[in-house]
Structure 1
Amino acid sequence: MSKKKDQVLLNEQIDAPEVRCVGDDGTQYGIVSRDEALKIAEQKGLDLVLIAPNANPPVCKIMDYGKFKYQQEKKLKEAKKKQTKIEVKEIKLSVKIAQNDIDYKVKHAREFLEKGKHVKFRVFLRGREMAHPEAGVEVLEKIIPLIEDIGVVEKKPHLEGRYVNMLVIPKKEEKKK
């Protein structure tokens, strides 16, 4: 029978004969038998929760397990909220793209960068264009000067399969004095 890593042992599930017992308010009960610790917890109407099973003797805390579990879930939700998700917008180009089309695509890329999104430029190489991937690199290098005021090239143009890719991220705003 395997135990889950995040499974918490409480009350009668604790099998250690002696435990170091700590109260919910930080009161130290010292090293007591498991049964005595259970009695103390029962008197207070709380649960005996195994906190550090690997310690010698194991450390148990007398607390309201439902409240403890709720607090843990709340912390997880808060941590999840603080995470930022980076959105990558992809702009596809071809080797034979005209300058006005490049300007149009760059205009969209600038809008994305202003919104703080990353932009991935992809030049698709068709058929015989695969023999000259440097043509795709040239197209992407035409774009760099058009966006360098608002974005930073994180990944230089490079060949990946049938695509020549380049990743541009927004410039970090400098703090004004």
Structure 2
Amino acid sequence: MTSFMRKFIHQTVKTGIKCNDRYFCVQIVQKAALAQFGAIIVTKRLLLPLCANAYSTIEDTADEKVKKKSSKPTFGNVGRKIGHRILQLLDSNGNNLGMMHRAEVIRLMEEQNLRLVLRKDNADPPVYQLMKGSQIHEEQLRLREKEKVQLKAGPPQLKELTFSSNIAQHDLDTKIKHIQQWIEKKYQVQITVKKGKTTVPEDNMEELFNNILKTLPEIATFASKPKVTRGGKAATCVFRHLSNKEMNEYRKSKEETQKNRDTMNNENSDNMGSNILQQ
């Protein structure tokens, strides 16, 4: 019993020393590592988020999504990828086929060997049309030409012309030709008439503008009416090209006045004939 106890105590002391040695060794190694590499570890923890933000692609993908949403959808074949469940369908001639489910639209598209094009995305329900490949190509060309015209069409350019109220008729005719050429090119023309050596009433200067306008029938009108400037020493106005609506109204009024004249002439001729018969 005594020998057994001695062996047990001796074994316990050995194992205790070993455990303590291991514990103290681990503590010493950890303290040394923290003392030597502690600053580096701290700096890494501070720099890692910065590096991740600098080389992150999250913002780039977000910007690309915004650009895709803001860009206008191109005119073309949608195919079977229809984003709406219920839609309003037009045939290749533009006739309304009513509201349909997209499965029914796909069936018609495959049966008639046609392509599907989105016409009005903002409508409720959205409007689609069945079209041939040639029709889509023609429509794309038309839209491109329209975009080119819109890009070219900016604010109308202004041409200026100045002459004296004592201008000779020959020189005035030459000026009117220049005005007509500019108006036909859709320019606005600002005309300034200065008083000559002889005193000219303001009414006569306005009448001069009206006479110039009468020489430009069906193409020009006043963009700004005649007004006196420079303390009564000059008068100015601006001519512009007639719009399509104004042109049509002018032609209608001209036709009506011509019809009234014809009816009046016929009535006068009938009255003269009746008077001759009575005599």
**TM (normalized to structure 2)?**
0.37
Aligned to 1:16: 84
Aligned to 2:110: 42
Q: Distance in 2 between matches of 1:159 and 1:62?
A: 61
Q: Distance in 1 between matches of 2:123 and 2:108?
A: 21
Residue 89 of structure 2 contacts residue 97 of structure 2 at CA under 8 Å; is this kept in 1? Answer: yes
Task: Give the 3-state SS of the residue equivalent to 1:106 in structure 2.
Answer: helix
Task: Give the 3-state SS of the residue equivalent to 1:15 in structure 2.
Answer: coil
Question: Gapped runs of 5+ residues in structure 2?
Answer: 1-67, 150-155, 215-220, 242-249, 263-279
1:166 pairs, out of 237, 257, 278, with 237
Offset, 1:2: 1.8
Q: Distance in 1 between matches of 2:72 and 2:193?
A: 47
- Is residue 62 from structure 1 mapped to residue 130 from structure 2 by the alignment? yes
Question: Gapped runs of 5+ residues in structure 1?
Answer: 81-85, 125-133
Identity between Structure 1 and Structure 2 (%): 17
Residue 182 of structure 2 contacts residue 189 of structure 2 at CA under 8 Å; is this kept in 1? Answer: no
Q: Distance in 2 between matches of 1:55 and 1:119?
A: 43
**TM (normalized to structure 1)?**
0.51
Offset, 1:24: 2.8
Residue 86 of structure 2 contacts residue 99 of structure 2 at CA under 8 Å; is this kept in 1? Answer: no
Q: Which amino acid in the other structure matches residue 41 of structure 1?
A: M
- Is residue 52 from structure 1 mapped to residue 120 from structure 2 by the alignment? yes
Alpha-carbon RMSD: 4.9
- Is residue 156 from structure 1 mapped to residue 218 from structure 2 by the alignment? no
Q: Distance in 1 between matches of 2:122 and 2:208?
A: 59
Q: Distance in 2 between matches of 1:115 and 1:24?
A: 43
Task: Give the 3-state SS of the residue equivalent to 2:110 in structure 1.
Answer: helix
Give 1 or 2 for the bigger CA radius of gyration: 2
With 60-69 and 110-119 compared, the bigger mean Cα shift is at 110-119
Q: Which amino acid in the other structure matches residue 63 of structure 1?
A: M
Q: 1:2 to 1:105 in 2, by over 3 A?
A: farther
Q: Distance in 2 between matches of 1:98 and 1:27?
A: 63
Residue 23 of structure 1 contacts residue 29 of structure 1 at CA under 8 Å; is this kept in 2? Answer: no
Q: Distance in 1 between matches of 2:180 and 2:124?
A: 56
Structure with bigger helix share is 2
Q: Distance in 2 between matches of 1:30 and 1:121?
A: 58
Task: Give the 3-state SS of the residue equivalent to 2:116 in structure 1.
Answer: strand
Task: Give the 3-state SS of the residue equivalent to 1:40 in structure 2.
Answer: helix
Aligned to 1:31: 100
Aligned to 1:2: 69
Aligned to 1:122: 192
Residue deviations 1:101-130 (CA, integer Å, cap 9, x gap): x22543323445677947532369xxxxxx
Q: Distance in 2 between matches of 1:59 and 1:18?
A: 10
Offset, 1:149: 3.8
Q: 1:167 to 1:46 in 2, by over 3 A?
A: same
Residue deviations 1:150-169 (CA, integer Å, cap 9, x gap): 52683213549xx9632357
> Would you say how many aligned residue pairs link Structure 1 and Structure 2?
151
Q: Distance in 2 between matches of 1:98 and 1:39?
A: 76
Higher relative contact order (CA 8 A, sep 6+): 1
